Amino acid sequence: MSDTAKLIYKGAEYELPLIYGTEGDDAIDIRNLRNQSGLITFDPGLGNTGSCQSEVTFIDGEKGILRYRGISLDALEHHPNFVEVALMLIFGELPSKAQYERFSTSLTNNANLDEDMKHHFAGFPRSAPPMAVLSAMISTLSCFHPEFLELEDATQVERVAARLISKVRTLAAYAYRRSLGLPYNYPDPSLPYVSNFLHMMFSEPYRQYSIDDEVLAALNMVLILHADHEQNCSTSTVRMVGSSGANLFASCAAGVSALWGPLHGGANMAVIEMLEAIHNGNMTTEEYVALAKDKDSPVRLMGFGHRVYRNFDPRATILREVSEKLLERMGRKDPLLSIARKLEEIALKDSYFIERKLYPNVDFYSGIILRAIGIPTNMFTVIFAIGRLPGWIAHWYEQKRQVYTGNKQSAYTVRTKRGW
Ligand code: ACO
């Protein structure tokens, strides 16, 4: 196998080195292209560009494969534990018992917000979009934790990761409570990560929220399936902001902004709005599909299509099952689930969607699950952000480590001593 690719331009030949990915996703290294030939590359949307080398997540969009640190999603499906997956993503391996316990304790101890942060919530209008509040409040954490603006070693990364992962659910729950004018619930140290979030969202001063195991497993799974997706829009944003040396809070606040858009994380809200519009009789499923295919209309079939998956999105397959199981367990019927299934059935038989390789993505069924849990539509993208946070941290840390893998600071040796 040749170690270079050849480019011929205006009669001159340029050798470009190859980089071999562990899963056969080989790349041409063009870092010296401009120096050698004066040429640059043009690839809007980075559809053909690997922006970095990464060990975090592998996706094969043609085969519908997604693996975190080499572990496939199906393996995680039977043991849904978001905290374990978060540690694995950030530090590269499944955690030892000691690391898991240390991290869990740290999550518990850091769940509370500085009391002064509550005043910030009061300053937002009740109608404020929760993603705006989340981004602003994650950024605000950097004011309350100046000790983490410069990180020295892996121990500090673990400490800041625990703080951010822990506090983000408190921020999310407070944003929700504030939007409804409800009193904030302090975190309960006796509850593990996901249960504690449900408590902060739904307990009342006069009634403790009762946590159902099936709800817990479903929410864990939703968070796990959102935990990373290699170099997507928000993760690339986190890496880009972090590449300037910006701290983790600032970088992740930017990630929240990137995730907010309807073509990225915001699609989960748009899916429910689409299903509700059909349910309310504004149009039939057939009419909606026809509109989504009409080139004169800006409407798209929300929750369908993906930049990377040109076959099925494995997350959608799992979430469809989880949503059906959860509704059955709760003894509920959600008419939106039937509409979603019908839309899927129509689209998967339609040549427009077949030719363009458009399949349901992660957002198509996640909203049905979140609705069943009682999470309002305007909080869906916030839940996505809570799930994606470990992935953002993993990439931010990987990039930072790449900086640290260079030479340690060393003294300048004068030329004479170097034999000049
Ligand atoms: N409904 C109807 N048509 C679609 C859809 C859709 N959901 N998605 C793509 N198309 C069509 C486009 O109109 C285009 O048609 P054309 O070739 O005739 O012009 C073709 O398929 C390719 O579309 P692109 O936008 O170029 O595809 P791309 O891969 O860049 O976009 C995206 C992917 C943005 C996800 C797109 O499929 C989409 O808008 N989907 C709906 C929004 C959505 O569900 N987003 C969530 C993605 S998952 C996530 O971010 C977590």
pLDDT in tens, the chain (420 residues): 568 999 999 999 999 999 888 887 789 999 999 999 999 999 888 888 888 888 999 988 888 889 999 998 888 887 789 999 999 999 999 999 999 999 999 999 999 999 999 899 999 999 999 999 999 999 999 999 988 888 777 888 999 999 999 999 999 999 999 999 999 999 999 999 999 999 999 999 999 999 999 999 999 999 999 999 988 999 999 999 999 999 999 999 999 999 999 888 888 889 999 999 999 988 999 999 999 999 999 999 999 999 888 888 999 999 999 999 999 998 888 899 999 999 999 999 999 999 999 999 999 999 999 999 999 999 999 999 999 999 999 999 998 764 434 344 455 666 677 676
- Bridge partners of 16? 5
Smallest CA separation from ligand 1 atom 38, residue: 305
Q: Are 139 and 238 in contact (CB under 8 A)?
A: no
Task: Please confirm, yes or no, whether 78 is among the known catalytic residues.
Answer: no
pLDDT for residue 411:
58
Smallest CA separation from ligand 1 atom 21, residue: 356
Distance between Cα 305 and ligand 1 center (Å):
5
Q: Are 57 and 230 in contact (CB under 8 A)?
A: yes
Distance in angstroms between the alpha carbons of the first and the last residue of the chain:
40
Give the integer Cα–Cα distance in Å for 418 and 411. Answer: 13
Smallest CA separation from ligand 1 atom 44, residue: 303
Catalytic hit among 145, 228, 363, 395: 363
pTM confidence score: 0.89
Catalytic hit among 120, 226, 264, 306: 306
Nearest ligand 1 atom, CA 232: 50
Give the integer Cα–Cα distance in Å for 110 and 160. Answer: 10
- Bridge partners of 57? 68
Q: Are 248 and 160 in contact (CB under 8 A)?
A: yes
Task: Please confirm, yes or no, whether 363 is among the known catalytic residues.
Answer: yes
Q: How many residues does the chain have?
A: 420
pLDDT for residue 332:
84
